[in-house]
Chains A and B, each alone.
Chain A
Amino acid sequence: MTEPALVASGLTRRFGGLVANDNVSITLEHGRVHALLGPNGAGKSTLINLLSGDLAPSAGSIRLGTREIAGLGAAQRSRLGLGRSYQKTNIFGSFTVHENCRLAAQARRQRPWRIFANAIADRATNDIADAALETTGLRSQHARLAATLSHGEQRQLEIAMVLATGARVLLLDEPLAGMGAQESARMVELLRRLAPAHAILLVEHDMDAVFAVADEITVMVEGRVLETGSPESIRASAAVREAYLGTEAEN
């Protein structure tokens, strides 16, 4: 058994009196998709923000491989191979698709003091950006302004940027949000392709997609982990059904 890619334990985050995450523990393994479910307000986005470094935890530890990262900022975590995408599309709309990815690739090998180098002509970053676009199927769109892409393509670009940073652990916040059936299917297929070489945390509301790709599922309710297990055991769990799936079904 190899070392887990990421182990978070006892993560707690308070906002004033509100406890958004209460003693949350989660483990991500290489080559596996770990889905995070829970009703709105369960604390899923807070957890992603804690893991990515956008928020500082009030308590708890996060280990990336063998390294403790809870005290590091978002940028440092990213350079250590932890990448995230955003629930609300967060790309550089006024840059081209390729520029978005090249900027992400540039983060890997930052040599800002080389002020006489031409960023556009850097072979290494261009190759990384091209590879990320190829993987996500955006190669043909590389010259377009990111803002002019369709919603689904923008979500793909989010993922492509994370890939271009060279991240091994991917925190994906609702990558299927707002997508049509066809776009969703393409994204699910992409996630499947990424799984073998990455550890993925997938926050997603689309149940079909989750059960189609997840190797493991954690269900959160009211800031706490309710249950973690295989898709089958989660599907069979009475507690989960009551707390989450039940209410979802009624809706």
Chain B
Amino acid sequence: MKHSPPWLLLGLAALALAAFPLLGQAFYVELLAKVMIFAIFAMSLQLLAGVAGLVSLGHAAWFGIAAYTLVLMAPKYHPANLWITLPAAVLAAAAAAFVVGLLVLRTRGIYFIMVTLAFAQMFYFVFHDTGLGGGSDGVYLNFKPEARIAGHLLFDLGNSTHFFYVSLGAMAAVFLLLAAIRRSPFGHALDGMRANEQRMRALGFPVMRYQLAAFTLAGGLAGLAGYLAACQFGFVNPELLAWHESGNVLLMVILGGLGQLHGAILGAFAFALLQEGFASVTRHWQLPMGVVIVALVLFLPGGLASIAARLRRPRS
């Protein structure tokens, strides 16, 4: 149950990222910020799928709910206050996840996968069919939120450099938080539940409550990613909650390796690389992506993180 991340490598990578806006082109700064947002999204799912062993195919719901929360709360003619809208968006996502968790955690395995997908679709229809969020067209965010302390502008999410560093900071914070959780008694209990739920119950752990806590937390962190995504895209529409988003984020987690926190970051970067790479060649980029996924399942069940492990430990 020891999961020490490769701290040195991660620190160097963070430094390299931090230096990037000084050198890189604006296009890549924005692209990288987007990838970091998806890394947060993927890490939140890693907590569920990789740590707690709950494979959700509806994770985009929380991402989208937070995004909509920001846009619906934002004033029309001046920037929203980050100190209010960010907690509100994260809490909205977490609260929705909590309520749905109460229901979906009554199921397991295949059922859990299907039920999470179905509930995410329900939220999709909430935004798609009702007048709440502008229907299928979505809503624009006219001004990006800003953070002020005692009247002084701390940062403005409309500024792409500011946005980059806020995303980097958020990614690092989420990583550190989840790393702490993994080594905490809570994280160890989740490890045990992933391995053998019945045994944990016999040992005296209220399994459902732990899982509900993980589900809610994962929902909230996905909400953080959704909030940042809404800031960056400048609009929201129901497609944010579409099940392809849930599928893609699960794919990132598995690309990077199930169970490894940094794997989720790696997976988000790998996914973006593949996506950009294929999209530069063909409009039908999902075709080679699909082939890569099928090949991944058939030939590399442990994800990218397992390549390094295999190289270190050649087959005896």
Contacts and interface: CB of A to CB of B under 8 A. Distances in A.
Interface of A: 52, 54, 73-76, 78-79, 83-84, 86, 90-96, 99, 102-104, 106-108, 110-120, 122, 125, 161, 165
Contacts of B189: 103, 106, 110, 112
B286 interface: no
Contacts of B1: 95-96, 99
Which applies to chain A's interface (DSSP): helix, strand, loop or mixed?
A: loop
Instruction: Please indicate which of the listed interface residues B186, B189, B201, B203 has the most CB atoms of chain A within 10 Å of its own CB.
Output: B203
A52 B199 CA distance: 12
B185 interface: yes
B210 A103 contact: no
Given A95-B1, A116-B184, A103 B192 contact: yes
Contact of B196 (A54, A73, A92, A114): A92
Nearest to A90: B199
Nearest to A117: B184
A125 B204 CA distance: 14
B198 A90 contact: yes
Contact of A112 (B2, B186, B198): B186
A94 B3 CA distance: 13
B198 A106 contact: no
Interface in B181-239: 181, 183-189, 191-192, 195-196, 198-207, 210, 213
A86 B207 CA distance: 19
A112 B185 contact: yes
Contacts of A78: 201-204
Contacts of B201: 54, 73-75, 78
B180 interface: yes
Nearest to A108: B204
A108 B177 CA distance: 25
12 contacts: A78-B202, A90-B196, A90-B198, A106-B188, A107-B205, A110-B185, A112-B189, A115-B180, A115-B186, A117-B184, A117-B185, A118-B183
Contact of A119 (B187, B198, B203, B205): B187
Interface residues of B, number: 28
Instruction: Please indicate which of the listed interface residues B2, B184, B210 has the most CB atoms of chain A within 10 Å of its own CB.
Output: B184
A117 to B, nearest CB: 5
Contacts of B187: 115, 119
B210 A161 contact: no
Contact of B184 (A54, A103, A114): A114
A119 B185 contact: yes
A85 to B, nearest CB: 9
Nearest to B186: A112
Contact of B205 (A75, A91, A96): A75
A113 B203 CA distance: 19
A161 B203 contact: yes
A112 B202 contact: no
Instruction: Please indicate which of the listed interface residues A78, A79, A107 has the most CB atoms of chain B within 10 Å of its own CB.
Output: A107
Contacts of A117: 184-185
A165 B185 contact: no
Given A78-B202, A92-B199, 18 more contacts: A74-B201, A75-B204, A75-B207, A76-B206, A78-B203, A84-B202, A91-B199, A92-B196, A93-B195, A103-B188, A103-B200, A106-B189, A107-B203, A110-B185, A112-B185, A116-B184, A161-B203, A165-B203
Interface string B98-121: 000000000000000000000000
Nearest to B192: A103
B23 to A, nearest CB: 36
B98 to A, nearest CB: 15
A82 to B, nearest CB: 9
A112 B207 CA distance: 12
Contacts of A95: 1, 191-192, 195
Contact of B181 (A103, A104, A115): A115
Given A92-B192, A114-B184, A107 B198 contact: no
A122 B204 CA distance: 18
Contacts of A84: 202
